[in-house]
Amino acid sequence: MAEPRIIIVGAGPSGTRAAQACVAAGLRPIVIDEARRDGGQIYRRQPDNFTRPYAKLYGTEAGRAQVLHETFDGLKGAIDYRPETLVWNIAGGHVWTASGTVQKAMPFDALLLCTGATDRLMPVKGWQFAGAYSLGGAQVALKSQAVSIGHKVVLMGSGPLLYLVASQYVEAGADVAAVLDTSPFSARVKALPDLLAMPSVLWNGVALTRALKRAGVAVHLGVTPVEIMGDAESGVSGIRFRTGSGKEETVRCDAVAIGHHLRPETQLADLARCAFTFDAGTRQWLPERDGDGRSSVAGVYLAGDGAKILGARSAEASGRLAALAALADLGLPVDKGEMTSLRGDVANYAKFARGLARAFPWPSAQAAVLPDDAILCRCEGVTAGDLRGVMRETGAQEANRAKAFSRVGMGRCQGRYCGLAAAELIAAESGVPIEQVGRLRGQAPVKPLPIAIGDET
Instruction: Please state the length of the chain.
Output: 457
Shortest approach of another protein to residue 319 CB, angstroms?
Answer: 26
Q: Does 451 bind another protein (CB under 8 A)?
A: yes
Q: Does 414 bind another protein (CB under 8 A)?
A: yes
Q: Which range touches another protein (CB under 8 A), out of 72-80, 156-164, 220-228, 444-452?
A: 444-452
Q: Report the alpha-carbon distance of residue 328 to residue 333 in Å, rounded.
A: 6
Residues 255, 259, 265, 270, Cα dihedral to 10°? -110
| Cα atoms in the Cβ-side hemisphere of radius 13 Å centred on 418 | 33
Phi, psi dihedral angles at 94 (to 5 degrees)? -125, 150
Of 18, 34, 182, 185, the closest CA to residue 110 belongs to: 18
Q: Does 298 bind another protein (CB under 8 A)?
A: no
CA distances from 355 to 159, 316, 358, 359 (A): 11, 20, 5, 6
Shortest approach of another protein to residue 89 CB, angstroms?
Answer: 5
Within 106-159, residue ranges assigned H as helices are 135-145
Instruction: Tell me whether residue 60 or residue 400 sits nearer to another protein (CB atom).
Output: 400
Which of 91, 192, 280, 368: binder of another protein (CB under 8 A)? 91
Which of 405, 432, 435, 436: binder of another protein (CB under 8 A)? 405
Instruction: Tell me whether residue 146 or residue 297 sits nearer to another protein (CB atom).
Output: 297
Which of 240, 410, 435, 436: binder of another protein (CB under 8 A)? 410
Instruction: Tell me whether residue 103 or residue 168 sits nearer to another protein (CB atom).
Output: 103
Q: Does 411 bind another protein (CB under 8 A)?
A: yes
CA distances from 105 to 35, 261, 449 (A): 19, 34, 15
CA distances from 166 to 211, 219, 353, 381 (A): 10, 10, 21, 29
Pairing of strands 6-9, 30-32: parallel
CB burial of 340-368 (b: ≥16 within 10 Å; e: otherwise) equals eebeebbebbbebbbbbbbbbbbbbebbe
Give the Cα-Cα-Cα angle 102, 104, 110 (nearest 5 degrees): 145
333, with CB counted inside 10 A (0-12, 13-18, 19+), is: exposed
Q: Does 371 bind another protein (CB under 8 A)?
A: no
Q: Does 92 bind another protein (CB under 8 A)?
A: yes
Shortest approach of another protein to residue 365 CB, angstroms?
Answer: 28
Q: Report the alpha-carbon distance of residue 7 to residue 73 in Å, rounded.
A: 18
Q: Does 332 bind another protein (CB under 8 A)?
A: no
Q: Does 372 bind another protein (CB under 8 A)?
A: no
Tell me the per-residue interface mask from 104 to 133 with another protein, x by CB under 8 A, - otherwise. Answer: -x----------------------------
Q: Does 444 bind another protein (CB under 8 A)?
A: yes
Shortest approach of another protein to residue 378 CB, angstroms?
Answer: 13
Q: Does 70 bind another protein (CB under 8 A)?
A: no
> Which residues face 105 on adjacent strands?
96
414, with CB counted inside 10 A (0-12, 13-18, 19+), is: buried
Instruction: Tell me whether residue 250 or residue 394 sits nearer to another protein (CB atom).
Output: 394
The conformational region for residue 432 under phi > 0 = left, psi -120 to 50 = alpha, else beta, is beta
How many Å from the N-terminal Cα to the C-terminal Cα in the chain? 32
Q: Does 394 bind another protein (CB under 8 A)?
A: yes
Number of residues engaging another protein in binding (CB under 8 A): 30
Shortest approach of another protein to residue 106 CB, angstroms?
Answer: 12
Shortest approach of another protein to residue 400 CB, angstroms?
Answer: 9
Shortest approach of another protein to residue 87 CB, angstroms?
Answer: 11
Q: Report the alpha-carbon distance of residue 170 to residue 209 in Å, rounded.
A: 12
Tell me the per-residue interface mask from 29 to 68 with another protein, x by CB under 8 A, - otherwise. Answer: ----------------------------------------
Q: Does 275 bind another protein (CB under 8 A)?
A: no
Tell me the per-residue interface mask from 240 to 269 with another protein, x by CB under 8 A, - otherwise. Answer: ------------------------------
Binding site for another protein (CB under 8 A): 88-89, 91-92, 94, 96, 103, 105, 380, 393-394, 398, 401, 404-405, 407, 410-412, 414, 443-445, 448-454
